[in-house]
Structure 1
Amino acid sequence: MTLFDPRTTALVMIDLQEANMTHDHLPHGSRGVLDKSLRLIAAAREAGSLLVHVRSSFLPNERDSLQPILIEKQRPANPVREPRWDELVPEVAPQPNEPVLVKRSWNAFHGSDLDVQLRRHGIETIVLIGMSTNWGVEGTARAAYENYYNIVFAEDAMSAATAEGHRHSVETILPLLGRVRSVDEVERAFGESAA
């Protein structure tokens, strides 16, 4: 039995953007996640699957981001960001028919048209990759589960600020939401489905 049907599968890439390349992630490292993501991007395109690029971005004063009451830590009024921090890394270069969505929270469904895009393309399964495992990927996965999507996680094409955060998500939360697989397994599934 194949892992998914590429005609009804989308590769959803979370925050493969400049900000995440300027600091390391664990356990796979930012460059390692990007390299493995590029393999899946190529495989998904070859198989004819939908690719959806998701990036985080805010107004300069970040008034459009979630502003929960945080006792221990308050956000600065005008945070200083690196130039181009919110741009997708050039290597992932979206093609004309690949949606690019902006998210302003951990959950890529919240406040975006991700669900509309997926449904209009007839998507039933999403393959999730990106940064960070226990924030953007897990936040999006929880919403995908609640919206009745089948989910596949490519474990080594995602990483977190700490190895413990990644491991907790991968071992405790993500298996309750979908199927956790390696990049090799997901890439092979795209290839088998495309054949």
Structure 2
Amino acid sequence: MGGKALIVVDMLNDFVVEGGALYVGEAGRRVIPVIARALEKARSHKIPVIYICDRHLPGDREFEMFPTHCVAGTWGGEVCAELAPREGDVIIPKRRYSGFYGTDLDLALRELGAEDLVLVGVCTNICVLYTAADARMRNYKVSVLKDGVASFDEKAHEFALREMEKTLGVQLLLVDEWEAGNADSCC
């Protein structure tokens, strides 16, 4: 064990393309090139890439809180074109905030021998935070590329970054730090 994995959280059309049902806004668009760089780094170093994707059923209970979004089989539930998965990438559908809740993520990571995870995506204070928390509860080492995550709420974004770092022990990095080789030693 001890391997690494890059986890891309909810970079889906409904969140990061203008006109999407829960468009995060420009913050979501700004992280796309950062995530593209992280994907390039991971793939060039043979680090597995896992996409965690909201895939709701029509009438999902989450729609009592948020507008209908990322319904399975719709444009809104697809990964944005700029970050499209490639052959060999793993796609894990989810119906709740955490990428671990009710999914095969833990099994996939264990089969890949991954213990060091780096997270990118949206929303920092929702799906990224709860995926990071559940990863830490399972004793994974977790890093977040802080310039590769975004939210529709800047204060909640900042709170989530502090919470992940101070409470969960998540390492916060910039993509430049990860590209410069820290990925080899930390995540």
TM-score (norm 1): 0.82
CA contact (8 A) 2:70 2:77 kept: no
Which residue number in structure 2 is paired with residue 12 of structure 1?
Answer: 7
Which residue number in structure 2 is paired with residue 179 of structure 1?
Answer: 171
User: Which runs of no fewer than 5 residues in structure 1 stay unpaired?
Assistant: 68-73
What is the CA distance between 1:192 and its match in structure 2? 5.8
CA contact (8 A) 2:50 2:92 kept: yes
CA contact (8 A) 1:16 1:131 kept: yes
Q: Mark the structure with the bigger radius of gyration.
A: 1
Counterpart of 1:114 (choices 105, 124, 131) is: 105
Deviates more, 1:45-54 or 1:95-104: 95-104
Which residue number in structure 2 is paired with residue 129 of structure 1?
Answer: 120
Which residue number in structure 2 is paired with residue 51 of structure 1?
Answer: 49
| C-alpha distance in 1 between matches for 2:92 and 2:39 | 17
Which residue number in structure 2 is paired with residue 41 of structure 1?
Answer: 39
What is the CA distance between 1:25 and its match in structure 2? 4.1
Residue 153 to residue 107, structure 1, CA distance change in 2 (3 Å): same
| C-alpha distance in 2 between matches for 1:119 and 1:40 | 22
Q: Secondary structure at the match of 1:115?
A: helix
Deviates more, 1:12-21 or 1:172-181: 172-181
Q: In the alignment, is residue 164 of structure 1 matched against residue 142 of structure 2? A: no
Q: Give aligned pairs, total.
A: 177
| C-alpha distance in 2 between matches for 1:8 and 1:80 | 33
User: Which runs of no fewer than 5 residues in structure 2 stay unpaired?
Assistant: none
CA contact (8 A) 1:47 1:191 kept: no
| C-alpha distance in 1 between matches for 2:62 and 2:69 | 17
TM-score (norm 2): 0.85
Q: Secondary structure at the match of 1:129?
A: strand
CA RMSD of aligned residues (A): 2.5
What is the CA distance between 1:59 and its match in structure 2? 1.3
